[in-house]
Amino acid sequence: MGQIDNDWLPALSGEFKKPYYKDLFYFVQDEYKKNKVYPPKEDIFNAFHYTPLSKVKVVIIGQDPYHNYNQAHGLCFSVPKSQPEIPPSLKNIYKEIEEEYGFRPPNHGCLTKWAEEGVLMLNAVLTVRAHNANSHAGKGWEQFTDACIKAVNDIDRPVVYMLWGGPARKKAAMLNNPKHLILEAPHPSPLSAYRGFFGCNHFKLANEFLEKNGLEPIDWRID
């Protein structure tokens, strides 16, 4: 199922020993054997590989991976450069950034650059059966990713959370670190972006907060 081998490991190693994680591990292994599952096994933990815990500046929380061919690669909202279509929610994210900064949207949807700059792009559920959204919900991933969010909450330095849509906004209840900034808005999906995601100004607000606290801002431009 892939491994975490950077500074996330001490923070999460206790989870790997819990009964729920053992059940989750065998469930996911079985799913990969019997069904088409996304992302590829080696990409499940990409959010952690690209963004070590010590580098986290911003957290974006998604729901579960894209469930069509060659879309999911372990970062929420992101697709590989080889994917010709930019997903609709990501198009709206690009629109909001263009409105805030004037940056021209890229012609692809790969967000690894953000991850490498300190944006943890974490789905609440890290695997999905092909063409079956939320098919791996309720199997244990939520408990694991909540432990990840708690590990970030415990960081003794400023961090920004961007919570978009109902499921992500519920995570605010576990965030109680006074050094951190919580930003909430509707989901960037075409169904809800016009209800307050557009105009939320989250990308500028995040950078203003980071700079105010002596941290390097995120360069939201994608080449």
- Residue numbers annotated as active site: 64
Helix extents (H) in the chain:
8-16, 19-34, 46-50, 88-101, 112-117, 141-153, 166-169, 202-212
Residue 181 burial by Cβ neighbours in a 10 Å radius (0-12, 13-18, 19+): buried
Per-residue three-class SS string for 150-174 = HHHHCCCCCCEEEEECHHHHHHHHH
Residue 98, amino acid: E
SS3 of residue 88 by DSSP: helix
Do residues 123 and 65 make contact, with C-beta atoms less than 8 angstroms apart? yes
Beta-sheet pairing, 181-185 with 160-164: parallel
- Per the listing, tokens 């199997």 go with 139
d(CA 77, CA 123): 9
